[in-house]
Structure 1
Amino acid sequence: MAPVLQIVGYKNSGKTTLITRLAKLFNGMNLRVAVIKHDLHGFDADREGTDSFRHREAGAAAAAITSPWRTAIFEERETPLSELINHFAGYDLILVEGFKQETYPKMVLLRSTEDEPLIHELKQVCAIVQKEADFPVNEADPRRFQRDEIAQIAEYIRQNWL
């Protein structure tokens, strides 16, 4: 089973930016990273006019499209995180964006000191990634990083999960 690490924080805290930067860095190390994103607002990943869009619009409960380079599966249901993790079990690392209440190890992104209570509201917080350098440091807190310390964050993940 691939190790799972959650990247959590409030809206616009930099979760997607951090994940894309880490994925690029790990890809350069020949590691296969899977990403699972939670979207509470709904989304539509398929474009109008494509065959797969037309299949779903016609009432198909699920549709898949595959090529020699890519596969996409669209299902008209919510998929539990555990099922998605099992699907990606063969990868080197699974980064999960969101799903704050799940119990996997978490890196919490903070925009400002006002977000600090989030650290204590969540389970399994292993690290904090902060935007501002002048956060008060509490020795009991998990490991802290500045947002631009991507290489150090990647090394921390590599040492602890890979």
Structure 2
Amino acid sequence: MRLYGVTGWKNAGKTTLMERLVAEITGRGFSVSTVKHAHHAFDVDQPGRDSYRHRTAGAREVLVASHARVALMQELRGAPEPPLSDLLARLSPVDLVLVEGYKREGHPKVEAFRAGTGNPLIARDDPTIRAVATDTPLDLDRPVFGLDDIPAIADFILREVGL
């Protein structure tokens, strides 16, 4: 499975970069799936919905299916968070999986970096970061792209994964 990450600190533009890369790469005819890491408890379900009621009643898994989509929610109920490799194994085959977050994993990544956040650049100390997408000039030993140069970033990622 071809895998590439987008990483960076909070408010660096990771989600916007992911969204724009998915649109750009799927627009070129490639199939893309995404994995997003969250550092907080999150809920994709809505209170009052049947699936929410099933889950809060104690179900470990709730699968909701319709003609338009399938969603599987799994409650860990105190079990450890599954590693990225286990999550990737659950995905259907696609041309490329883009991963948001998981900055400590060993897959190749592009770092989203905004100077105004005041956070340090991760790339200087992390060889898994192969390029940086930024809003400020940087002097680095790897490619630096403008945050809005989505076609060039997509070209770089596709070359890196052999597509």
Q: Does 2:13 correspond to 1:11?
A: no
Which runs of 5 or more residues in structure 2 are unaligned?
Answer: none
Mapped to 1, the partners of 2:20 and 2:126 lie a distance apart of: 24
| Structure 1 match to 2:152 | 152
Larger mean CA deviation between 144-153 and 87-96 belongs to: 87-96
1:110 aligns with 113
Q: In the alignment, which residue of structure 2 is the partner of 1:119?
A: 123
Is the 2:31–2:94 contact (alpha carbons within 8 Å) kept by the matching residues of 1?
A: yes
> Deviations along 1:26-77, whole A, 9 cap, x unmatched?
2212211111001001100011111110100111011111122211111112
Would you say how many aligned residue pairs link Structure 1 and Structure 2?
Answer: 157
Q: Distance in 1 between matches of 2:36 and 2:59?
A: 23
1:90 aligns with 2:111: no
User: For residues 45 and 13 of structure 1, do their structure 2 counterparts lie closer, same or farther at Cα, with a shift above 3 Å needed?
Assistant: same
Q: Aligned-residue CA RMSD in angstroms?
A: 1.6
**Which amino acid in the other structure matches residue 38 of structure 1?**
H
Which of structure 1's runs of 4+ aligned residues deviate more than 2 A? 113-117, 120-123
Q: Give yes or no for contact 1:103–1:123 (8 Å, CA) kept in 2.
A: no
Shifted more, 89-98 versus 113-122: the winner is 113-122
Residue 69, structure 1, aligned to residue 75, structure 2? no
2:106 partner amino acid: T
Q: Which runs of 5+ in 1 are unaligned?
A: none
Partner Cα separation in structure 1 for residue 110 and residue 59 of structure 2? 38
What residue is the counterpart of 1:60 in the other structure? 59
Task: Name the counterpart of 1:137.
Answer: 139
Cα distance in structure 1, aligned partners of 2:3 and 2:92? 9
Compute the TM-score of the two structures, normalised by the length of structure 1.
Answer: 0.90
Distance 1:76 1:33, change over 3 A: same
Is contact 1:100-1:122 (8 Å) kept?
no
- The alignment partner of 2:85 has SS state of helix
> Within 5 A, what are the aligned runs for 1:4-43?
4-43=3-42
